[in-house]
Amino acid sequence: MDAPSDTRRRICDAVDEAFDRQIATTIAFAAIPSTRGAEGPCQDMMHDLLRARGYEVDDWHIDIDDLKDLRGYGPVTHDVSRARTVVGTHRPAREAGRSLILQGHCDVVPAGPLDMWDTPPFAPAVRDGWLYGRGAGDMKSGTIAALFALDALRAAGLRPTARIHFQSVIEEESTGLGALSTIQRGYRADCCFIPEPTNARLVRAQVGVIWFRLKVRGKPVHVFEAGAGAKPTQASTVALEVAGPFPYGQRPQEARPAQQIPSIKVSEVEMQAMRDTLLQMPTGNALIVHFALWPLGPSMYGDVPGFEPWQVVTYAFLHGGFTHIAFNMFALWMFGGAIEQLFGSRPFALYYFVSVIGAALAQLEAMQARQSSGIAPAKAAAD
């Protein structure tokens, strides 16, 4: 039901009259560097703001043991011994109508590189009608706006007839334990409004996050045979590609059916890492040369010594005999698909067979040169 025009006017006038104080309070609130684990001063300020307005204040330390068996619990890895939730309650003598929860979080994400800020992140500044500072938008301005909205109702001569719980929580950026603690504490209402910055639109749901740890074991080897090892960073990339990401708006089971999700074993990840190492990493240079499968140029990897394609293939064929050629064919079968995707089928096939013919001719010419000069092949030295 729409409020009478006179009531709306009185509320709007009350908002306008207190707006400068609202901005000043928002600036003071946003100036507190309440990153994860350091939210205490923000909660102290909110406690004082609620107490000064006559609300019934409930300020308690979060006990993880009270939450760990609840649905929605997310494990934390940092010290939460000082974690607190603050709730201010308006409780009318006789309740009528529907109850309401107003909830805002005071924790903020890290400031990041300071040299990327025009002004210090925790020195909020107003420029061109906008307030800049870490956490000013997400979501300290919304929390203070909700608090001053209640002030405006009171200044307009109105008093809510149902319970209102004003909640200041932590851990919204990570686990959501602050909001969970209010549920564990027993706070309930007919409606909950969270004044997050959602483009001034009401939304009923929002995307979430899944936090997980991925442990990948590498295979250490000497630098002499670096390409034979497995790099955990490479393997992690493969695992993450299998796990996601999922298109926005799709649930995991819709984006990638369960029957199509391959199981990951460390050995398989290591094998993929070895392939990626050979095909992508500078440390695979020796193996690339040995297999003679890659047209490695002198400018491809900067300081890494480079070879022209004909030199690579020629070296490979001069280095070994039929055993090496067979091994070379095996390498082509194993890694050729990825290289073919990079260069295309026809160019790759043309390059490979032209290189083989060129290498064979170069080998014959080298053998003839050795015979005519009387120099025996330096087989042992090459090996």
Q: What are phi and psi of 184, to 5 degrees?
A: -60, -30
The DSSP H or E segment spanning 376 is: none
Domain ranges of the chain: 5-193, 212-280, 284-383
127 DSSP β-pair partners: 130
CA distances from 21 to 37, 145, 147, 302 (A): 28, 11, 12, 59
Residues 247-275 have pLDDT tens digits of 544 544 444 443 333 333 334 444 444 44
**pLDDT (0 to 100) of residue 50:** 98
Using DSSP's 3-state secondary structure scheme, residue 59 falls into: strand
**pLDDT (0 to 100) of residue 143:** 98
Report the phi/psi class of residue 21: left, alpha or beta, with left for phi > 0 and alpha for psi in -120 to 50. alpha
Parallel/antiparallel/unpaired status of strands 84-90 and 56-61? antiparallel
Residues 34-48 have pLDDT tens digits of 999 999 999 999 999
Q: In this prediction, what percent of the chain has a pLDDT beyond 70?
A: 62
Structure tokens at 375: 């120099």
The mean pLDDT of the chain is 77
d(CA 309, CA 292): 8
Find out whether 174 and 76 touch, Cβ atoms under 8 Å.
yes
Residue, of 55 and 277, whose pLDDT is higher: 55
Specify which of 8-17, 200-209, 246-255, 295-304 reaches the highest per-range mean pLDDT.
8-17
Q: Lowest mean pLDDT of 63-67, 102-106, 207-211, 313-317, name the range.
A: 313-317
When pLDDT is averaged across residues 5-18 and rounded to a whole number, the result is 95
Q: In this prediction, what percent of the chain has a pLDDT beyond 90?
A: 47
**pLDDT (0 to 100) of residue 217:** 81
Q: Lowest mean pLDDT of 180-194, 219-233, 334-348, name the range.
A: 334-348
Specify which of 165-169, 204-208, 277-281 reaches the highest per-range mean pLDDT.
165-169
Packed helices 19-30 and 141-155: angle between N→C axes, nearest 10 degrees: 150
The DSSP H or E segment spanning 3 is: none
- Give me the CATH code for the 5-193 domain, please: 3.40.630.10
The catalytic residue positions are 107, 172
Structure tokens at 59: 């300020």
**pLDDT (0 to 100) of residue 136:** 96
When pLDDT is averaged across residues 181-193 and rounded to a whole number, the result is 97
Residue 147 has pLDDT above 70, yes or no: yes
Residue, of 350 and 292, whose pLDDT is higher: 350
Return the sign of the alpha-carbon dihedral for residues 84, 85, 88, 92.
Answer: negative
Q: Rounded to 5 degrees, what angle do the CA atoms 42, 196, 128 make?
A: 85
Residue, of 88 and 299, whose pLDDT is higher: 88
Q: Lowest mean pLDDT of 91-100, 141-150, 231-240, 318-327, name the range.
A: 318-327
Residues 341-375 have pLDDT tens digits of 666 666 766 766 676 666 666 655 665 665 555 54
Q: Lowest mean pLDDT of 193-207, 226-240, 366-380, name the range.
A: 366-380
The DSSP output letter for 166 is E
Using DSSP's 3-state secondary structure scheme, residue 356 falls into: helix
**pLDDT (0 to 100) of residue 272:** 47
d(CA 109, CA 40): 15
